[in-house]
Structure formats: structure tokens, C-alpha cells
Amino acid sequence: MAKYLLLKHYRGAPAAGNDVPMDRWTPDEVTAHIGFMNDLAGRLEAAGELVDAQALAPEGTWVRYDGPGRPAVTDGPFAETKDLVAGWMAIDVDSHERALEVAAELSSAPGAGGEPLHEWLELRPFLEQPPTITE
């Protein structure tokens, strides 16, 4: 089994095929989208492939250590690019091919007009072992 993180970018990713921002969807369109996400998560959970999934609020803050007692804080969550990750899903699947299948299905979630979003998702494998340094 291999673990993957699927990142849903709200801003900063290539434009989705159905590129109407969620804040312009009707309440029924939002309900259909959330229902699709819950259904997919339920099927993945039943198959033992879901690790976790969460939606993220648009607000965020960058923080770094800037000396004792002085965390540096800036607007965010992504101050340099103004990217915004809307949510994520962690899966544990048998192969990279299966991870691609799950990501493709997630990309087909309905959006405005009930049409599939065809959104781009970032698929990242978990780092299973730290890199080995040889001399």
C-alpha cells in the first residue's frame, strides 16, 4: 500500500474545465458537490483506502521561527503566490495507478450547472522513508 495526498487548489492551479468559483454556485450546486465528495469518501473508506479528508477555510497565516519568542507572521496562507488549497484527501492504495484513478474521479465532482469541474488536482506521494545519504 502507498499513501498519497490529493490537494484541491482553489487558486493557483491551472483553471478547471468548469471554472465558476464556488461562491457563485447555487445552494443546490454546493449541496450536490458536497454530496459527491461525501459519497466518494464513503466508498474509499469502505474499501479501506481513505486515510482522511478535510475541507480548509480560505483564511490562513504563514508563521516561521524568527528568534526566541518572536514568530514572524504574514498574511496567507500563501503569501508569495496567493495560492489557496481548498481541501485535501489522503488515501492509502495498492498502486500509483489506483491513486490516479481516485484523483481523476475526484476531479469529476460536480460544480456550476451540475457539470463536472474537471479540476486539476495535485497528487503527491507520502515520503515513506527518509532519503539515505551515502558518502
Copy the grid coordinates of residue 121: 488536482
Confirm whether 132 is domain-assigned: no
The strand pairing partners of 20, in sequence order, are none
Asked whether residue 20 carries a pLDDT value surpassing 60, the answer given is yes
**Burial of 132 (C-beta count, 10 Å sphere; 0-12/13-18/19+):** exposed
Copy the grid coordinates of residue 129: 522513508
Number of structural domains, the chain?
A: 1
Confirm whether 54 is domain-assigned: yes
Q: Pick the more confident residue, 20 or 66.
A: 20
* Calpha distance 111→21 (Å, rounded): 9
Confirm whether 121 is domain-assigned: yes
**Ranges 56-60, 82-86, 94-98, most confident:** 94-98
Confirm whether 15 is domain-assigned: yes
CATH number at residue 22: 3.30.70.1060
Confirm whether 131 is domain-assigned: no
Confirm whether 46 is domain-assigned: yes
Instruction: Show the domain range for 84.
Output: 2-125
